[in-house]
Structure formats: C-alpha cells, structure tokens
Structure 1
C-alpha cells in the first residue's frame, strides 16, 4: 500500500465512524475494523524451497482464535487448506508465493495447466471450506505468480488464459483464494496480487469482511477478478484498492443460490471491468449498497450484466456517492450481455437507484429485455459531461429533468455543471 492510500484509509475510517455507516449498509451485521488475534501459535520461517508441508502443519495444529504468523522473508507453497478459527497472518516484509506447478493443484484429472471444455481442473492456492471464523491479516503480500512460466512450459497462467480465449476453450488455472460454505471470514490489510485466475471467489458464505485490502493484477491479465461474492450474504468490502484484468468486484448468483445483503463502501477501483453484478443472476441478487466508490479508468463503471441463459431478478440496488473517470461505459445495465445467448431465464432489474453520481464521458447504457421486462431505475443528482451519451432501450427511468445531465433522451433539460470535476478530491486522495 502507498503512504497516500494508508492516509486515506485512516481518514475514511474516522469519517465513517462519524456517520455510522452500519445504519444504512445492506450487510445486516454491524461491521467494525477487524482486530488481529492476540495469540500467535506458530512462526514458521521460510526454507528457501517448498514450504507447503510446514505451513499446512502449522495451520492444522493451531487452535481456533490463534494465528500462524509469517515474518519477513519469501515463502513458497502449493495449495493450503485453512482451519476454522485460524488466521494466516502475513507480516510486514513477508511474501507468500504460489508455486506455478500445475501438478500441485491438479484435481486428479490431469487437466490443471491445460485448456479443456471446463475450467475446474485446479484446486485453489488457499481454500476455506466449511470453516467458521479466521481469515487472513497483515501488511504482507500473497502473490499468485500468474505471470511466471508454468513448470515444464514457457507459457504463464495468464498466457494460457489468453490462448484459451482464442481457441474457444477454458483455461484450467488455480484461483488464488476460494471460500466455500464458510461463515464469519475476515481479511484485513493484506495485499493480494498476480492471481492466476480470480483473486477471491466465494460460494455460500455467510458473513465476510474485507477491510483495507490491496488487490493488484495487470490490466490484460484475463479472468483475474478482484472479489466475487457468489451465493452469499452479509458481505462487506471496504477501504480497499482494487485493480485487475477483469471485474474489480462481481456479485454473482448462479445455480448455488441467491446473493444478498452486500455492502461495497469506501473503495477505489483502478483498471478493470468495474463494479459488476452478474453475469450469473438466475438465483437472484438483491439488497446491495455501493457507496463512496471511485472508478478510475475501468472499462465499465457501474455494471449489471446478464442474458436469457443465466438471467434472474436483480433488485434493491443502491449506488450512492460514486465518482467515475475515463470509463468507456460508466453505466452499463444490460440484459443482453451475450446477444447470442439462448434460454428462458429473462433478466429483470428493478428498484435500481443512483444518487449523487458523477462522471465524465462515455456511453450510459440501460437496456432491458423487452417492454414487459423493462428496467426500473431511479436517478437523483446524476451528472456527466455533455460528451456522454444515453443509450436507453426498454428502460423505465424516473428522474427530475433538472437533476440529470446530459438530459435523458426525449426530455427537456439544461446542461448542468459538475461532471467528474466534483470528484477531483476523491481521485486525488488515492
């Protein structure tokens, strides 16, 4: 983290305490800044070779409520399984590297590191499965080494992903962190970078806090999403810096269940594909708050994406105090994400509210499936530059014409001052 970022986090914490964000947040928990465990159970030292067995042994033998502390140095490991209540504490000056060896992650089918019809051939680097409590803390780094050559090849995980895109298949690359069927998971302060695939993916999680994280991957590193809550509830992502080669955050709700009660509060997103909901929403996504967010150079900004192959109900989503700059599609609410998709799962987006949103240029897209399934959106104090363009199709937009700029198509209105210039301080602070 940069000095400027740390200063911003401190100021944001103080400001947030003053306005008591829990009163409005869609996460139903009362969320405060996490505190690391008071007891350190084990302090493994780096071996310089393969530290997997020693790290896993420390995690397995530490009791709940304690931490495995990695001090200064470079640790190298294959997949690790976390234990209920145990925290992995990455200290300042420590880096935990994922070893780029497909055989270590393979699920037994010989597909990890290859292109196939499915992309589920690898175990994640760090997995929380059916755990309660614990998490990852510290000022250190977890590095997935997505840009390093895979063992036995000159190709990197990212190059494999790009080749899969060209060949029409799926890359089998490990996610950095996977959280499955877990409760009360906490991440604080740590830097996650260079994931071979998603940085953090969640499935059926109840209660998770991500506070003060830095997530960083190159803009062209395919499928390196930042944090993806899926089939989960009561999740808060706050005071974090996220830039990736795909969605900065993507809220998903596929066949495993709905996702609801999510708070994305006080964050900065650099390059990436934006603040996304979808594309899988067939089980429903609801009760989502996005507040005090800067989106700087993301291709899309505020994004809801789905189609008839994976659509469902997305409702009660509030975007508040959002600043956008340098986005191709600052707003992209699209029910035809893949126009070639086939199916009967029609996406429906309703009770979507934008309040105090500022941006500069780009396309402002709102496209519903048809007249019967039109989007339901309310705008309040939404201002972009006069070079921005509205693209509305099957969208019922409620707004006061004096409150929106540029004017909505077919509605009289005057050009309002503002645009993203009103957000200059938000961008400068980062």
Structure 2
C-alpha cells in the first residue's frame, strides 16, 4: 500500500499543560480492558468420552474420523470434554467439519494432531462453491464451529492442523494457492476458516497449537467473554488471508501469553456489524504477519482496548489501526503499554485511508489513542487522520524509536507525556528522559516448537 499524503496539519500540546486531558486519558486507561476477572484456564475435570485413532470409522469405512468425533460431542453434556488421545498407531485424527455443542470442550492431548480434511466437498454449504473463486468467498463452512451457549472451547497441548498448504482432494492446487489465484484474478477464494465462534459466552482456548489454516485461524463473532491463553498459531508468512485471531462484534476478550506468526494480521479487531470493546492483549509474542491490528472494518465502533507487555518481532506493521471511508467508524480508548518492536517496516501504522481509492461517508475517527513505554527500532511511523475535521488524536509518553525512524503524519493531533518521544513528530520537541540500557533485553522470545 502506498501512503497518499494529505496537506499536513499537526497540532501538539504538552502533557503538563493539559490537565483535563490527563484525567480523560486516565479514565480511558481504567476502562480499556476486559471487564472480567481473568485467570489462567485449566484442563477439564469431567470427560464424557476418550477417543484414540483406531483405523477406519466403523460406519463409513474411511480413515476419516468425523462421525466418531461428532457422535462423542453430541453425547456430551455442557461442562464435559471429549478427549482425543494417542493410541498404539499414533495420534493423528483426520476429520471433516465439526460442531461443538454449547458448553462442550474439545481436549486435544499432547502428541495428537486433529487434521482437517482437504476435500472441499466436506465444507461446501450446498452450492458447490467451496474450493472455487467467486465474488463473495462465502461458500465454505468452518472446520470447527462453536455456536451459542456458555462455556466450552478447545484445550490441551495437541494440534489442530488446517492443512492449508496441502493439495485439495482431487486437485493439484492447495487452499493457499487458490487464495493467491483469487488475488491475481480479482475474485475471492472459497476456503474454510479453521475455528469460528458465534454468539457464545465465556469460551476458552488453552495451550493448543493451531496451524496451517486455509483461511482465518480463530474468528470470534458476537462473542461475550473469551479467554485465549498460552495458545500458538503458526502458518507461513506467504499464506494469504490467514489471520491469527479476529475478535469481531465481541466484548470482554483476553488474549494472553500466546505466540502468533501467520500470513496476514496476527490479530485483527473488527467491528463490521457490531461494536467490539473491552479487549485485553497481554504478554503475547508476535512474529511474521501484518501486525497487531484494529480494522479494517470499524463502522460499528471499536473501544476500550488494552495492549500490554507484548513484543512484535518482524511483523510488517507493528501497532496498526486501519480503515477508510467505505467502512470506517469511531476507534477510541486504545492504550498500548510496555511494548517492544523490532524489524517492522511500519512500527506504528495508524491509517484512515487504508484503501486510498475507497469512497463513502463512513469516515474513520481515531481518538484517545495512547502509547506509553513503547520501544522500537527504525521504520516509518505513520499517523494519518482523514481530514481537518477528523484529526487523529494520539498521546505519546516515553516512546522511543531509533534516530532513523521517520514520522509520516497528516491531520494528527499529538500530546506529549512527561517521558516524551524520540524522535519527535512534527510539532513536538524532543523531551524524553534519556534511555538507560535496553529495556527490551530479555523480552524477546523464539517461537516455541513445543509448548512453553
């Protein structure tokens, strides 16, 4: 994407001179998080069925275990778990789409791989579109659907593998190759998402590895209360449209102590058909991918977001908010604290013209955005409001980037905290307290091949 600059307008004021603004920011900081009391989930106490791979399914005669797993799920009561374990022949289950009953937990044991079938017919919604390209890209159902009810989720030290890079059954093209072809041809690929949670409450994802999704990995849609703790998401950097975690029209979400590398947004907080608010992103590590993002759909509003204690190591963008006049809305009360960035092309990327050619009246407005104790290297520091009537408001306190980092600003209103910012954006003077040592030393972590 090429940034198209508007005539620059930068308004700045000192933190000390804006007492009222300090009070407002403090109030936003207190609200900007998951409102629940969130603790580390545990493994289930009650198991209704324990399954090991046993060869061909007893009803279908196939190695596909969809029927066996789904029947076990259907017999469970809320609060119980179906546990997949390794057997004498190994720990690999092959399955088509599964639906978790409300409140039921899927427990994937260490050494177990639940692999998604590569057959597009298994995911098709009835129109023969899955595995093809069209104008909508909505022809496939997800691999795992969690819908309605309270509780439930996916836990355990095993793996869910979407097999996005494997050839589709009967084809010489993978799901990811289909996505690239759709990009070239100007259409949308019909490929299944890995996990979709809809209209559910208090779901949990704990310690599981999710890899190689054909499309998005985990989508939370209309969810109230979700905890994702200690999970890993791992997909190649060139796998198109493989977002890591996408909270959409959801509230009270915590993503903590997790590791994400993927081919699109590491996280994308969306608000296309409902507001998303009260999200905590805590002590996570992000690697290749497009960044920790809000947008691009923000039309219903995004607010009360807390990002604290994260590292972004090699993401294309770092802290990112993206939208445009075709799908924009109000993004406010977003607080980034104690963040370390390196190897990013755009460590800060707050963009109200994500699609420079987009038209419409849904103007993006970003306000109450605060960065505190943020450390990065070089790259472009992009802060662009939409126009003079829609300034982008950012408070910077103890924000430090390398001297060769370059600000690219338009219609931005900056406020400096007592820790200042280096290098300063246009209109602000350098006032940061001199750095003492590398405060990100010891914070970086390699992506764990095994559960950390």
Question: TM-score range, shorter-chain basis?
Answer: over 0.9
Aligned to 1:43, the other structure's residue is in SS state: strand
CA 1:122 to 1:418, structure 2 compared with 1: closer, same or farther past 3 Å? farther
User: How far apart, in 2, do the equivalents of 1:420 and 1:237 lie?
Assistant: 29
Give me the TM-score of the superposition, normalised by structure 2: 0.88
What is the deviation of 1:400? 4.8
Which residue does the alignment assign to 2:111? 93
Does 2:256 align with 1:242?
no
5+ unaligned residues in a row in structure 2: which ranges?
Answer: 1-28, 56-62, 448-452
What is the deviation of 1:35? 1.5
> Deviations 1:329-357 (Å, cap 9, x if unpaired)?
00000000000001000000000000000
User: How far apart, in 2, do the equivalents of 1:141 and 1:299 lie?
Assistant: 26
Does 2:338 align with 1:331?
no
User: How far apart, in 2, do the equivalents of 1:82 and 1:131 lie?
Assistant: 10
Does 2:325 align with 1:308?
yes
Which residue does the alignment assign to 1:35? 42
Which residue does the alignment assign to 1:51? 65
Aligned to 2:442, the other structure's residue is in SS state: helix
Which residue does the alignment assign to 1:4? none
The partner residue of 1:121 within 127, 133, 139 is 139
- Please identify which structure carries the higher helix content: 1
Q: Contact between 2:32 and 2:304, CA under 8 Å: does it hold in 1?
A: no
What is the deviation of 1:130? 1.5
What is the deviation of 1:95? 0.5
Q: Contact between 1:384 and 1:420, CA under 8 Å: does it hold in 2?
A: no
User: How far apart, in 1, do the equivalents of 2:427 and 2:441 lie?
Assistant: 31
What is the deviation of 1:411? 3.5
User: How far apart, in 2, do the equivalents of 1:249 and 1:420 lie?
Assistant: 30
Aligned to 1:427, the other structure's residue is in SS state: coil
Which residue does the alignment assign to 1:381? 398
User: How far apart, in 2, do the equivalents of 1:46 and 1:131 lie?
Assistant: 29
5+ unaligned residues in a row in structure 1: which ranges?
Answer: 1-21
Which residue does the alignment assign to 1:369? 386
Which residue does the alignment assign to 2:75? 61
CA 1:400 to 1:56, structure 2 compared with 1: closer, same or farther past 3 Å? closer
Q: Contact between 2:285 and 2:445, CA under 8 Å: does it hold in 1?
A: no
Root mean square deviation of aligned Cα: 1.7
> What pairs up with 1:186-197 in 2 under 5 angstroms?
186-197=204-215
Give me the TM-score of the superposition, normalised by structure 1: 0.92
Q: Contact between 2:194 and 2:218, CA under 8 Å: does it hold in 1?
A: yes
User: How far apart, in 2, do the equivalents of 1:191 and 1:24 lie?
Assistant: 31
What is the deviation of 1:79? 0.2
The partner residue of 1:183 within 201, 210, 214 is 201
The partner residue of 1:360 within 377, 386, 393 is 377
What is the deviation of 1:415? 8.1
Which residue does the alignment assign to 1:158? 176
Aligned to 2:440, the other structure's residue is in SS state: helix
Aligned residues: 408
User: How far apart, in 2, do the equivalents of 1:37 and 1:422 lie?
Assistant: 39
Q: Contact between 1:210 and 1:238, CA under 8 Å: does it hold in 2?
A: yes
Does 2:221 align with 1:198?
no
CA 1:401 to 1:133, structure 2 compared with 1: closer, same or farther past 3 Å? closer
Bigger RCO of structures 1 and 2 (CA < 8 A, at least 6 apart)? 2
Moved over 3 A (4+): 22-25, 414-421
User: How far apart, in 2, do the equivalents of 1:105 and 1:124 lie?
Assistant: 7
Q: Contact between 2:32 and 2:303, CA under 8 Å: does it hold in 1?
A: no
